[in-house]
Amino acid sequence: MSELKLCQGTKCHTYHTQDRLKGTKGSKTYQTRRRSSFYYGNENFCSLNCQTDWFNDFGDRAIDHFGRLTEVKHLIEDNAWIKDYDYDWRNDINPKSNWRSVNKVTQEQRPMTEEQYNDESYTLNTN
Ligand SMILES: [Zn+2]
């Protein structure tokens, strides 16, 4: 059995839903949600509400910790590369996708491999 994750929402246990009410009869409590996977906030939160609760409590500190943006960013040729692909939904036995880098400033396109597409550190951006 895979390990269950706990929702990281700071107020998750305060929401009165039937699935949060756990324990033996007579001593049930509302508890933080436990699931094998979550859909929100990089799989850390059971709901958008819980994600917002966390951000309201810790967001400013997290931004200060990782670096608050203090200057406007500019989209220029050197940092405008994004990853893109087309998926052929009509061919699900042997799907063909054309993974590529697309420059959002120049519209130039360059092919890439599926491995490069899935590699989060791969980018053509130099700035
Ligand atoms: Zn939650």
Q: What is the pLDDT of residues 6-60, one digit of tens each?
A: 999 999 999 999 999 999 999 999 999 999 999 999 999 999 999 999 999 999 9
pLDDT per residue over 79-91, tens digit each? 999 999 887 667 6
Ligand 1 geometric centre to CA of 1 (Å): 22
Ligand 1 geometric centre to CA of 16 (Å): 11
Ligand 1 geometric centre to CA of 52 (Å): 10
Ligand 1 geometric centre to CA of 43 (Å): 11
Ligand 1 geometric centre to CA of 45 (Å): 5
Q: How many CA atoms lie within 13 A of 26 on its CB side?
A: 0
Ligand 1 geometric centre to CA of 51 (Å): 8
12: amino acid identity, one letter: C
Nearest CA-CA partner of 112 in 75, 71, 76, 84 = 84
Statement: residue 1 has pLDDT above 60: no
- Say if CB 5 and CB 48 are below 8 A apart: no
Ligand 1 geometric centre to CA of 121 (Å): 30
Ligand 1 geometric centre to CA of 120 (Å): 27
Statement: residue 95 has pLDDT above 60: no
Name the pLDDT band for 3 (thresholds 50, 70, 90).
Answer: confident
